[in-house]
């Protein structure tokens, strides 16, 4: 790229062609211009703390809140009234959706905290996410799977057009889901779950110490080693109070079934992180707004629909109904994709549409924005950063 730039007649024009072509990147450029203008105009006034405000109540902070919402477009115009009316409630719900908050229309501490984020911080957050797009292939063509960790969402796209999307569950703060790109190769219906060593040591052993029937109750078998033909071991033959780390010498496997931690189907894109997509028996967790509950793998809310989507281009595609029939057999079955599908596991804390003024800010659940902000802005004043150019 350096040599090509030096040979170009118009270096500035050449550099512009190197910017990502993604519509998502163009949306962020548009958002950056808009939020920089808000910053130059003085941003917004801080709203004092106080009691929770519910629809129908009056509060002297309401005019400040309406000014804040009007500045970013959730409300058409600011008002002087102290009454929290229906129009303002709809604007608050829209704001809450823009900041991944529970859309209850109540102005509590979390909503107030988001309203008071300085515009300068939001400008930096946009720049940070533009930088992340620069690390990716500059175009996504054909079928792709994209998981946005910070948004808790999965998208199936074709030439950047969204075909399918669904909520996902990602890793806890101390079991962070990594950022990487892989290639989806196959699906496994009615999967086994080979329990990782860390879970065996830190979770299974304590459970067995408290309840000797835990393995049986959870349909978990234990084998003397990781070889495919390793003999099965009677759990009663192991002293669970002293086994400790030696449990790693055994293979603990949860059998297929309704309580299997991987659910009815898993999706494999081989990677060094041993991360994959899978179903879960705990579907109630998808009702949560913030969904960081896993050990690092990604749980999908509509796995059979995702399976049918991935298999649609196989010579022998399978529908949701056909996958349900396979699940009903309770037999493990591996289904190869005729053509692998790229999978991008990303960490994007801002999303903006190039077609309208909607901008979504997501929580920095793993603190990765803070690290990148330090790298980008430690020595360079923000006024000198021109990522939008």
Domains parsed from the chain with CATH numbers: 25-125+351-384 (1.10.101.10), 193-255 (no CATH)
Q: Are 18 and 8 in contact (CB under 8 A)?
A: no
Q: Are 178 and 296 in contact (CB under 8 A)?
A: yes
Q: How confident is the model at residue 196 (pLDDT cuts 50, 70, 90)?
A: very high
Q: pLDDT by residue (tens digit) across 207-255?
A: 999 999 999 999 999 999 989 899 999 999 999 999 999 999 999 999 9
Q: pLDDT by residue (tens digit) across 133-150?
A: 999 987 888 999 999 999
Q: How confident is the model at residue 9 (pLDDT cuts 50, 70, 90)?
A: low
What is the distance between the alpha carbons of residues 88 and 62, in angstroms, rounded to a whole number? 9
What is the distance between the alpha carbons of residues 342 and 269, in angstroms, rounded to a whole number? 9
Distances 290 to 9, 149, 168, 191, 362 between C-alpha atoms, Å: 50, 11, 10, 27, 10
What is the distance between the alpha carbons of residues 344 and 154, in angstroms, rounded to a whole number? 10
What is the distance between the alpha carbons of residues 356 and 309, in angstroms, rounded to a whole number? 28
Q: How confident is the model at residue 355 (pLDDT cuts 50, 70, 90)?
A: confident
**What's residue 158's pLDDT?**
96
Q: How confident is the model at residue 386 (pLDDT cuts 50, 70, 90)?
A: low
Residues whose CB falls within 8 Å of the CB of residue 294, separated by 6 or more in sequence, listed in order: 169, 170, 171, 172, 175, 177
**What's residue 379's pLDDT?**
59
Quickly count: other Cβ atoms within 10 Å of residue 9's Cβ: 6
Long-range Cβ contact pairs of 353-357 (< 8 A, separation 24 or more):
353/27, 354/23, 354/24, 354/26, 354/27, 354/30, 355/27, 357/31, 357/34, 357/73
Q: pLDDT by residue (tens digit) across 153-169?
A: 999 999 989 999 999 99
Q: Are 122 and 98 in contact (CB under 8 A)?
A: no
Q: How confident is the model at residue 354 (pLDDT cuts 50, 70, 90)?
A: confident
Q: pLDDT by residue (tens digit) across 282-301?
A: 999 999 999 999 999 999 99
Span 67-91, average pLDDT: 97
Q: Are 109 and 54 in contact (CB under 8 A)?
A: no
């Amino acid at each position: 790229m350096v040599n090509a730039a030096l040979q170009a007649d118009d270096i500035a024009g050449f550099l512009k062609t190197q910017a990502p072509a993604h519509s998502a990147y163009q949306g962020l450029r548009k958002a950056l211009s808009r939020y920089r203008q808000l910053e130059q105009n003085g941003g917004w006034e801080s709203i004092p703390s106080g009691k929770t405000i519910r629809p129908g109540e009056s509060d002297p902070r309401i005019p400040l809140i309406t000014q804040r919402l009007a500045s970013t477009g959730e409300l058409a115009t600011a008002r002087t009234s102290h009454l929290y009316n229906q129009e303002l409630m709809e604007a608050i719900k829209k704001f809450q959706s823009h900041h991944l908050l529970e859309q209850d229309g109540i102005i509590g501490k979390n909503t107030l905290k988001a309203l008071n984020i300085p515009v300068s911080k939001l400008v930096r957050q946009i720049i940070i996410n533009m930088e992340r797009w620069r690390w990716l292939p500059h175009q996504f063509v054909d079928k792709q799977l994209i998981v946005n960790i910070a948004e808790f969402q999965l998208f199936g796209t074709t030439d950047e057009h969204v075909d399918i999307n669904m909520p996902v569950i990602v890793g806890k703060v101390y079991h962070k889901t990594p950022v990487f790109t892989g290639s989806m190769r196959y699906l496994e219906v009615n999967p086994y779950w080979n329990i990782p060593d860390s879970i065996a040591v830190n979770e299974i052993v304590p459970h067995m110490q408290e309840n000797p029937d835990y393995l049986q109750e959870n349909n978990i078998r234990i084998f003397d080693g990781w070889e495919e033909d390793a003999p099965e071991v009677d759990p009663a033959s192991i002293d669970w109070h002293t086994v400790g780390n030696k449990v790693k010498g055994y293979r603990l496997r949860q059998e297929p079934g309704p309580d299997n931690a991987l659910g009815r189907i898993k999706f494999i894109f081989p990677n060094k992180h041993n991360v994959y997509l899978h179903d879960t028996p705990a579907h109630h967790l998808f009702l949560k707004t913030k969904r960081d509950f896993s050990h690092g793998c990604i749980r999908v809310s509509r796995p059979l629909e995702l399976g049918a989507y991935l298999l649609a281009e196989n010579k022998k595609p399978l529908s949701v109904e056909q996958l349900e029939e396979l699940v009903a057999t309770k037999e493990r079955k591996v289904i190869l994709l005729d053509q692998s599908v790229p999978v991008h596991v990303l960490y994007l804390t801002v999303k903006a549409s190039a077609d309208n003024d909607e901008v979504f800010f997501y929580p920095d659940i793993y603190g990765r924005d803070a690290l990148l902000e330090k790298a980008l802005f430690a020595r360079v004043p923000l006024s000198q950063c021109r990522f939008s150019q």
